[in-house]
Structure 1
Amino acid sequence: MAIPKLNAYALPTAAEIPESKVQWAFEPGRAALLIHDMQDYFIDFWGDSCPMIQQVIDNIAALRDYCKKNGIPVYYTAQPNNQSDEDRALLNDMWGPGLNKHPERQQVVAALAPDEQDTVLTKWRYSAFIRSPLEQSLKETGHNQLIICGVYAHIGCMTTATDAFMRDIKPFMVADALADFSREEHMMALKYTAGRSGRVVMTRDLLPEAAPQNKEQLRALILPLLDESDIPEDDENLIDYGLDSVRMMALAASWRKIHGDIDFVMLAKNPSVDAWWALLSREPQA
């Protein structure tokens, strides 16, 4: 049975991802990025110009750019386009000849093409660790965290995450940088990983966020979070305009990446644009 034609769906939002059983802290110095099977052949099943796939590619590109700038190694998996029956084995029974019938579609999508500094692993089975040097390479270089993105979430990505866990490598499944046969299967992969083998995160959870550069940017960030149609003055209490504690905690978590002393209590003590700008306009901490 070949892969069926696939339809777009709404990618998971931060509010929808399952709560992970583990809350491992992301450590860039110990992490590596795995871009899983983002080959033209596998992406073609969504057809041309699929907005969902474009968003996934954009999110993966943002992760890759961050990793490249911060010395985080980038790995790819890519199936070969000339697999023998012995190499392909049971995959023939499950999926047919695959790339063997479309050798011209073997390349990674152009927007994510690897460069000479990246490592491209030949992919033989669902798990990226099978018949590859991935585990040895990670452990020899002191990396015990693996950021996983790509396709398909409930097949190779989930299996690789589980395999990583069994090799004492902490997997981070990036919910909005994955794609799958369906939203149901995508969510199933996230739920399984969150409860059995890893941590499920959003792209933005792994990327440093810049603080607003001026009071106007801060105001523009806050206004969509309010329930009231009236616009508060800069010295007014934002809670009176519908800002709830959940949104305030999310802001605190984001801004803590720039100013380590910011927490929910600090924001709640004086919840106004003026007060928050005074906190954010300080020199960033080292």
Structure 2
Amino acid sequence: MTGTALLVMDIQVGIVSRIDEPDYLPRLARAVEAARAAGVPVVYVVLGFRPGHPEISARNKSFGALRPGAFTPEDPGAAVHPDLAPREGDTVVTKKRISAFAGSDLDLVLRGSGIEHLVLTGIATSGVVLSTVRQAADLDYRLTVLSDGCADADPEVHRVLTGKVFPRQAEVTTGEEWLTTLK
């Protein structure tokens, strides 16, 4: 699948712990393994800050409320969840805001690799996935969202986004349906 990459966004210990969906990680792991087997690059996008959070303004409602040391190199909660840990050949991109593109070199990495089609997964549907769909569409990427590869603390918000909002800018499918396109 030349030109396609699977984005695995914010699957970090401190974020996964907020989702109460026991089948989520195994389902996402199947998509990651299938992508690797098909030669589709897997790009992990993680939230990360320097010690002392100099990147965060007190005016930022989302990040200004983080506890000191959160999502810094010393924070165990900043690690990618061990059930989905990156492997050799995977790319890890660190972002500084909600969108995968904000404060990161993701666009450079993707364009440098000839990627034009993004398959999006992550936590939260109403956070990183929504912001990344919007920005990636504005950057002219072709988009697919794996509805069951995304999770949100609010199931109704997840339903509305994947059923009504994302289809305006992306193909929305399930992980199992996407896997059939890899064969």
Determine what percentage of the aligned residue pairs are the same residue.
Answer: 24
* Cα separation, 1, equivalents of 2:16 and 2:98: 17
Per the alignment, in what secondary structure is the counterpart of residue 87 of structure 1?
A: coil
Q: Which has the higher contact order (CA 8 A, sep 6+)?
A: 2
Q: Which residue number in structure 1 is paired with residue 77 of structure 2?
A: 105
Matched, 1:42 2:29: no
1:17-41 Cα shifts (integer Å, max 9, x gaps): xxxxxxxxxxx22210100100010
Matched, 1:130 2:102: yes
Give yes or no for contact 1:81–1:106 (8 Å, CA) kept in 2.
Answer: no
**Letter in structure 2 aligned against 1:200:** V
Which structure shows the higher strand fraction? 2
Per the alignment, in what secondary structure is the counterpart of residue 6 of structure 2?
A: strand
Q: Which segments of 5 or more consecutive residues in structure 2 lack a partner in the other structure?
A: none
Q: Which residue number in structure 1 is paired with residue 27 of structure 2?
A: 59
- Which entry has the higher C-alpha Rg, 1 or 2? 1
Per the TM alignment, residue 178 of structure 1 is displaced from its structure 2 partner at its CA by 0.8
Matched, 1:205 2:177: yes
Per the TM alignment, residue 98 of structure 1 is displaced from its structure 2 partner at its CA by 4.8
Give yes or no for contact 1:85–1:92 (8 Å, CA) kept in 2.
Answer: no
Give yes or no for contact 2:145–2:172 (8 Å, CA) kept in 1.
Answer: yes
Query: What TM-score do the two structures reach when normalised by structure 2?
Result: 0.87
* Cα separation, 2, equivalents of 1:188 and 1:98: 30
Per the alignment, in what secondary structure is the counterpart of residue 32 of structure 1?
A: strand
**Letter in structure 2 aligned against 1:79:** L
Query: What TM-score do the two structures reach when normalised by structure 1?
Result: 0.57
Assess, with a 3 A threshold, how the Cα gap between structure 1 residues 176 and 90 changes in structure 2: closer, same or farther.
Answer: farther
Which structure shows the higher helix fraction? 1
Match of 2:36 among 51, 58, 68: 68
Match of 2:3 among 12, 25, 30: 30
Assess, with a 3 A threshold, how the Cα gap between structure 1 residues 198 and 29 changes in structure 2: closer, same or farther.
Answer: same
* Cα separation, 2, equivalents of 1:163 and 1:39: 22
* Cα separation, 1, equivalents of 2:130 and 2:165: 8
Match of 1:187 among 151, 159, 168: 159
Assess, with a 3 A threshold, how the Cα gap between structure 1 residues 43 and 33 changes in structure 2: closer, same or farther.
Answer: same
Give yes or no for contact 1:82–1:99 (8 Å, CA) kept in 2.
Answer: no
Give yes or no for contact 1:174–1:200 (8 Å, CA) kept in 2.
Answer: yes
Match of 1:115 among 87, 103, 106: 87
CA RMSD of aligned residues (A): 2.2
Per the alignment, in what secondary structure is the counterpart of residue 137 of structure 1?
A: helix
How many residue pairs end up in the alignment? 178
**Letter in structure 1 aligned against 2:10:** D
